[in-house]
């Protein structure tokens, strides 16, 4: 079983990496690109002895994968 986790910066939190990409895309000639926000995408493989609930994955996010002060996370369980 697999879990997909998206970790994104909360609205209002400055994203310097995104700003840099935004600027670079303009420089490369891609017109009309507005705000760019960059987050993390994490794929977790879960073995048979893992607790496979969404709550368990959300705990992983709270404890390690995301900084909940400035980041949101979104958990999706797939086969």
Two tokens, residue 78: 């797939």
| Interacting residues with a second copy (CB under 8 A) | 6-8, 18, 21, 24-25, 28, 30-51, 56, 59-60, 63-65
3-class DSSP state of 79: coil
Nearest to a second copy of 45, 69 (CB atom): 45
What phi-psi label fits residue 22: left (phi over 0), alpha (psi between -120 and 50 degrees) or beta? alpha
H or E element in which residue 8 lies: strand 2-9
Q: Write down the least CB distance from residue 51 to a second copy, Å.
A: 7
Q: Write down the least CB distance from residue 42 to a second copy, Å.
A: 5
Nearest to a second copy of 49, 79 (CB atom): 49
């Amino acid at each position: 079983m697999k879990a997909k986790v998206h970790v994104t910066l909360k609205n209002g939190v400055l994203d310097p990496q995104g700003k840099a990409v935004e600027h670079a895309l303009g420089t490369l000639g891609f017109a009309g690109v507005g705000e760019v926000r960059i987050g993390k995408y994490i794929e977790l493989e879960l073995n048979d002895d893992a607790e496979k609930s969404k709550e368990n994955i959300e705990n992983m996010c709270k404890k390690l994968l995301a900084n909940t002060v400035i980041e949101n996370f979104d958990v999706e369980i797939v086969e």
